[in-house]
Every structure is written in C-alpha cells, then in structure tokens.
Chain A
C-alpha cells in the first residue's frame, strides 16, 4: 500500500485515502477529431515498466486531484504536483533524470 503526499493539502497518507485515476497528461479529443486520435485518447494507455505519471484524487481528504510521478517497478515516488499542470514540473523531471539516466521522458 503506497504512501502518497497530496500536493494540495500537504498530507502524506495511505493509498486507501486516495482514488486512482489512470494515466496523466492525456489530451482530450472531442468532436472533429479523427478516429485514430479519438481511439488513442479513449483507449490507448501506456503500460510502463518504470517511470509513470498517474492521476490520483485525495478522495477521503481535501478532494483534490493531483499527479504522481512513480516508478512502477520499485514503487519509488519522485514527486506529486497539482493536476492543473500541463507537463511534469522541471524539478521532478530533474530528479527523475538524476535517478534514472536511461529515462526517455514522459511523452
């Protein structure tokens, strides 16, 4: 059971206090998008063995969504940041690069 820190209220809590929300930094494709783009938005998810960016909601706390950068193999959490962020913050990217030199970026 993971320990995560909510970047909105600052609380470090048990995984059961949070609700998972799947892959982060997706781009919504609505009306007018072609079938491939829409399919990719709806269904094609990364299945990363390594550094992963995922959405979590502090469901039994402040209720805010946030994003966690986490290694799916070692479970190391590199950091969490608010959901209102379009790409991983530089500080977290630097931290990941330092620990995982082979990391190819979040895209």
Chain B
C-alpha cells in the first residue's frame, strides 16, 4: 500500500480545525501559541459553539489572535482582556466568552483586572499562556520569569534581591516569580483552575481536555471563572531552538510551575 493509497479523504484521522482561518500564524517556529490556538479552535468546533463564541485577544504576541480564529473577536488594551470579557458576558450572558492572555498581560499590567474578574466570579473562560518572558517586545522580564533566568532586562539573571540569594537580608530587586494561578485559585469566584502544557502530544491532549472543561463549565454554569494556565515556550527569546526550548521548559519551568488541576468545581485539589 503506497502513501498515495492512504492519503485519501476517507482515511483522514487528524487535520487542523476548520475554525482556524487560512491565515498562517505569525508566531515563531515551534511557538506554543499555535498549538494552544489549535486546541481552543478544536474545542469550540467540537462543542458546536462557534456561532455564539466571542474571543478577547490581548496585547502581546497573540494580539492578532483574532486573525486566526473564525469567531467574533475583540482586541483589548494591554492587561484589560478580562475587563472586556466581563463587559461582553454581562450584556450577553448566553454567549460564550473567552479571554486569551500572556504572562505580562494577565499577571503584570492586568493583575488588577485578573484578580477582580476572578473575584467577581464572572462566568467566562480565561486562557493564560505563561512562557516566563515578554515575547512581543523582545524578551524582557515577565512577572513569571524564573529566578536566575536571563532576559533583556535581567541580563545577569533575575535576582529577587541583591545580592542574589540573600533573602530578606538583601535589598529588593526583581522580586519573585508570580504564581498568579495559585493566587486566583484561592478566590471564591474561581470555579476551575488548572495548569497545563503543550510540549508533547500527551500534554496537548490533557491541555485540550482542560480547555474543554473550562468551556463546558461556562456553558453549563451561571458564574465562576474557568482559568487555564498553559506553561509554554519562547524559543526566540529564550535563545534556543524549538526542540531544546521544550526540553528546557520541562527541566526549568515545570519545577516552578507544576502541572495539574489546582481547583475543580470550586474546591482546591489537595496534593
């Protein structure tokens, strides 16, 4: 049996979601944004909610996410995606609203909106892509940057205090990696809080299942934020090739940001 015999429409088992437009992603080779876009689109397609879904894109690398999803979209100001999502969901409670933000957007400039959207228990789905760096602006420190990690604004490595490692005996410097996901999990307004990754097929499947749950919760519920963090890569600004970046992610990002559900059905998962 030749390859030509196999590649026929009736034998198709996997292809890109029809809810992604024909526009090629502008993301760097190997960037997790593309994979995350793909699985969100698959979830929307599988749930059949494309005619009532409204997305909110952030400022950052994924600012033009609206070009790729074939659903209605609004582009928010930096950090305000969940304020936008709140605005839409409050006036259209029957629509399905999701926000898509990076770490700088959600956990630095938008922290206030993030915390209060979660605390109000808005019935929305929040997707949070954490790659520990500012991608779009050229690799500066993010609130989630690891200690010791080199970025354009921490060229000698992020140091919480100076001298590094001096704890509270040192003077304040770059501060600590912000665990915003654990933080929002402790707010009564969050229903489902989970941390996932997309660096290999098994984790892509798990991440997709989590995103699906985060959308289903919204559809079936009346209130409560469904929050999915995805630990992702930034090979360009980490200055690694895509495959090495994924290895680095496993070895360095995951110990700081361990994967798994943090809160399910409004209850913290005991570890």
Mutual binders A and B: no
